[in-house]
Amino acid sequence: MTRPSALLRVVLVVHGIITLAGASVLTIFPTAIPLTVGISLQPDDYLIVYLVAAAELAAAVLSFGATRLTDRAAMGLVVLTLAVLHGASGLLNVLYMAQTGYSTVLVGNTCARMVAVVVLVAAWRADGSGQRRRRRPPAAENSTLS
């Protein structure tokens, strides 16, 4: 693999921008996103939001950095990591709703996360990075018969 395709690079950059924006909002306005689902926080509760912001920042850095990767296995690990992050977050949204009740905001967030998983994996597969290489059989050293 050389550099990732233009499509995969665009997907990773857009992902990086969105997650960087999320990290910024969580850091600057720690109550804003929780309030969208009815969770009110006090300053003593901000640490958990700041830790989520740090994870979002790390995901953004990973996305931006992956645009320069040339190793097939490394790119696969990046895409898998981001897909797991969004897939698990979406499932945890569903778990939270099962415990607290339906939320239009969380349904939208869950759908957005599932779309992120599909787009990341589809862009990776379209890039050819998702294709397994065929292994060649080892060359026979002395193929002459005696």
Is 45 inside a domain boundary?
yes
For the stretch 82-98, what's the b/e string if a residue is b when 16 or more beta carbons lie within 10 angstroms of its beta carbon?
Answer: bbebbbebbeebeeeee
Structural domain contains residue 140: no
Q: Establish if 94 belongs to a structural domain.
A: yes
Does residue 24 sit within a domain?
Answer: yes
Residue 1 covered by a domain: no
Contact 62, 54 (CB under 8 A): no
* Mean pLDDT to the nearest integer, 10-23: 98
What would the pLDDT profile of 82-138 be if each residue is shown by its tens digit? 999 999 999 999 999 999 999 999 999 999 999 999 999 999 999 875 555 555 556
Print the domain residue range for 29.
Answer: 6-127
How many independent structural domains does the chain possess? Answer: 1
Average the pLDDT over 9-27 and give the result: 98
60 part of a folded domain: yes
Any domain includes 32: yes
Distance, CA of 76 to CA of 133 (rounded, Å): 13
Report the alpha-carbon distance of residue 132 to residue 97 in Å, rounded.
Answer: 38
Q: What is the pLDDT of residues 20-70, one digit of tens each?
A: 999 999 999 999 999 999 999 999 999 999 999 999 999 999 999 999 999
On whether residue 44 sits in a domain, the answer given is yes
